[in-house]
Structure 1
């Protein structure tokens, strides 16, 4: 049995295949970001799925693509946990940018961006994936991500920089008690995912002028700081996007792309399906 995992900070999608590429089951756990969670917390989340618990001894290979796996320490910690849990399996852990590339362009070249709970950008030449910015975490980076938009919505609400009608709607949609917010930001394990939950408000109010302006603000920052790291590459390659933020913000992405001079390619909401197709093709070639 082969397990393929696409994990963000908010959720992890798991799909099991047999040796011929036939899907055996699909399941979901909370996000497994090893840069934020302890091994004990990661194990708790792994055990949330009855399917994973029931079939753990049948797994031969795991391809895990996840947020927080871009540096050696967290990646190794997660790899050790998975090897110990699925003790009959060979485990490969890669950063979520690899999943985004395989889902958006496969083995073709292109600039590929992630706009989900977090954000990232890379270039694939069809064989090698290159990142020119190493993430310093959601508090310093992650422009145009769910947690960045959630943080800015909360700030604008707090400073009363949001239109009154939207402030009322925001207050009705979320618990705005200051103690509740600070508890989740400073005493819970996934503050970035907590922030990202508030970004859903954007997609319920896409036609509001304030929302359009906020979307453009984040996408301009992301374009300037991340996409323009690949100034030469975007002259001859399209820029592809993966993630829920990207999917719902397509109109604004195309608007900002025109400002910065790059062409938008594929926009993929959930990379897991494309990721599975990529691995099935690899399996078929190896037969």
Structure 2
């Protein structure tokens, strides 16, 4: 049996392919090694994997994860998984490669992730040919859920959010400024905390249209200005995107892409189905 997984900073989508060729899907939390270390990953897997799954019976694990761009980070995840999937060959790679394979298969092109975090690259059909580092939650990740969430939190705390929307925010989350500071500066996974509020904007985008469009367009404009336009001949490629933020706000993403004369290709919420088909085609 093999299992293929696409892991973001918030959620991991898994697909088990059993001896009969049946596909079994399940989810766990995300395991970005910049935020989640080996013991945390191991313990989370032991408590969240489906009871029906016997980890010792797996032959191979293909895990593509956010933050798995360096050998050191890949080792954190691989070592944790080896302790859980004790008899399996563990393969760990970057989630950006998973996105390329899901979006483009063996064809070259431009691929991006717009989820909890952001990433972009040019893909040559086999591997990542050029990647401009998004610099993560603190220094970059323009256009991501964490980027949008930080804007929302700042507007809420400063009183810049429209009054009715601010009231709805408090009624839903009940957060004081002190609570927000505590979650960002003292608690683990601040990127996931900030990104969680992008759903709030999505839920209210048709009620507070002008504000929502300003927040989203500002984020996607920064995504282009700080990342996309710095790729050689960027607008000769189609914009192919994986991730909940890119998918949920794909109408505004298309508007902003048009301003930069870049056509839009494939936009999907999750790469897992296409990624599974890619791996099955190689067996």
Same fold (TM over 0.5): yes
* d(CA) in 2 for partners of 1:200, 1:11: 14
Q: Distance in 2 between matches of 1:192 and 1:53?
A: 32
Tell whether 2:205 aligns with 1:179.
no
TM-score normalised by the chain length of structure 1: 0.93
Which residue matches 2:228? 227
Q: Equivalent residue for 1:151?
A: 150
How has the CA–CA distance of structure 1 residues 19 and 129 changed in structure 2, closer, same or farther, with 3 Å as cutoff? farther
Deviation of 1:258 (Å): 1.1
- Mapped to 1, the partners of 2:48 and 2:26 lie a distance apart of 7
Q: CA contact under 8 A between 1:46 and 1:52: conserved in structure 2?
A: no
Residue 121 in structure 1 maps to residue 120 in structure 2: yes
Deviation at 1:219, TM superposition (A): 0.4
Q: Deviations over 1:43-87 (max 9, x none)?
A: 121113343784111111111011110122111111122223212
Using CA pairs below 8 Å that are at least 6 residues apart, which structure has the higher relative contact order? 1
By how many angstroms is 1:144 displaced? Answer: 0.9
Number of the residue aligned with 2:282: 282
Deviation at 1:274, TM superposition (A): 1.1
How many matched pairs?
Answer: 281
Report the 3-state secondary structure (helix = DSSP H, G, I; strand = E; otherwise coil) of the residue aligned with 1:29.
Answer: strand
TM-score normalised per structure 2: 0.94
Check conservation: 1:59, 1:89, Cα contact below 8 A: yes
Q: For residue 138 of structure 1, report the CA deviation from its aligned partner.
A: 0.6
State yes or no: 1:217 paired with 2:218: yes
Between 240-249 and 123-132, report the one with greater CA deviation.
123-132
> Do residues 112 (structure 1) and 111 (structure 2) align?
yes
C-alpha RMSD of matched pairs (Å): 1.6
Distance in 2 of aligned mates of 1:218 and 1:142: 10
Q: Report the equivalent of 2:267.
A: 267
What is aligned with 1:6?
6
**Secondary structure of 1:222's partner?**
helix
Q: Deviations over 1:24-45 (max 9, x none)?
A: x222111111111121111121
Gaps of at least 5 residues in structure 1 are none
Equivalences for 1:1-287 in 2 at 5 Å? 1-18=1-18, 21-23=21-23, 25-51=24-50, 54-207=53-206, 208-235=209-236, 237-283=237-283
The 3 A distance-change label for structure 1 pair 279 and 70 is same
SS of 2:92's partner is: strand
Deviation at 1:96, TM superposition (A): 0.8
Distance 1:131 1:166 in 2: 41
SS at match of 2:68: coil
Contact 2:45/2:84 (<8 A) preserved = no
CA distance in 1, matches of 2:148, 2:51: 33
Deviating 4+ runs (over 6 angstroms): none
